[in-house]
Structure 1
């Protein structure tokens, strides 16, 4: 067993290392992968990790980038996750995750609305960038809605509203986290959207899938708009409903 002892010199900050037993009872490691000291990040690597994390780069891709820059890099995924977590803790400086989120939205020039439930916890959150709102005021005629389900830690619904320009390009108008697929939640989100539109003309067409709660919310808040069903969702439903019928005829 290798035994070492270090002593700090009283006259300066230097150390003396004494070898008490230089006999190894196990072979030395061929690779340093997994050793925390060997896999530590330098200041430059930590700075790169922070910048890539801000750009929503996945930890796996960050690790690949670090190893491409240094062939002898012994960093592991655990080191990457720990470094990201330490950075978030430092950035929050005592704030809760929701407080940090609202602060970042403000710093990044987003406008946001939220409402709380009976327990004073944020239940719904709406945000939109000011540049997106300027585009909306220029092209308010057609809006498209889409929802993403169960892709975040809190299993919330992400509602995205998309606009269409005169050259058939799309742009993101706003986003909203909703607690449930209920008419009340959709009505609230659409009401906030109507508020941020200010003196802008209301949309003439609102394209959705056949989400009845959302359709009722549109009829209440944006009653002037014509609600059309998404062609992609229609085709998907036709394929799902009629596939068995065509298979039976082929037989």
Structure 2
């Protein structure tokens, strides 16, 4: 019976539990274990947990795209940010930095270290991290930039 999706429908209480546990950092495996301890007869599988989490996230976005939410959160958080778009109005670059990081970099401007991750996010955009090293041999993040690709003109 658990093969049929109609048998795996979660109750409102279970959906609320998934939401609360997700907000507290629990993994889907931990959530599933907790739900099974509370109700040994539950027919839900891990896919139900993932789908419920996705639906909760989608509802929390209020019809906005992930990028719109990101830019809104950066603005509300006081971050300095800039975006570049191509001719077709597609987002190609997003650069953001916290004002404290900018202020620190003005005081300690000796060394920059740049590291670009591989395209590990859902948009296949490399993430460039720029780190500053202070004279005390400590470091701090200066800014982050999502790039369209890793070509020279993207870095410029």
Shorter chain as denominator, the TM-score bin is 0.7 to 0.9
Change over 3 Å in CA distance of 1:115–1:37 after alignment to 2: closer
CA contact (8 A) 1:40 1:79 kept: no
Aligned length: 149
User: Which residue of structure 2 aligns with residue 167 of structure 1?
Assistant: 136
Output the TM-score relative to the length of structure 2.
Answer: 0.77
Does the alignment pair 1:127 with 2:96?
yes
What does 1:1-251 correspond to in 2, within 5 Å?
A: 35-37=8-10, 41=14, 43-52=16-25, 61-64=27-30, 67=33, 71-72=37-38, 74=42, 76-187=45-156
> Which consecutive residues of structure 2, in runs of 5 or more, have no partner in the other structure?
none
Q: Quote how far apart the aligned CAs of 1:148 are.
A: 0.6
Query: Larger relative CO (CA 8 A, sep 6+): 1 or 2?
Result: 2
CA contact (8 A) 1:39 1:79 kept: no
Output the TM-score relative to the length of structure 1.
Answer: 0.51
Q: Distance in 2 between matches of 1:105 and 1:167?
A: 29
Q: Quote how far apart the aligned CAs of 1:112 are.
A: 1.0
CA contact (8 A) 2:32 2:46 kept: no
2:63 counterpart SS class: coil
CA contact (8 A) 1:50 1:84 kept: no
> Which consecutive residues of structure 1, in runs of 5 or more, have no partner in the other structure?
1-27, 188-251
Change over 3 Å in CA distance of 1:139–1:68 after alignment to 2: farther
CA contact (8 A) 1:149 1:158 kept: yes
Q: Quote how far apart the aligned CAs of 1:76 are.
A: 3.4
Q: Distance in 1 between matches of 2:98 and 2:119?
A: 24
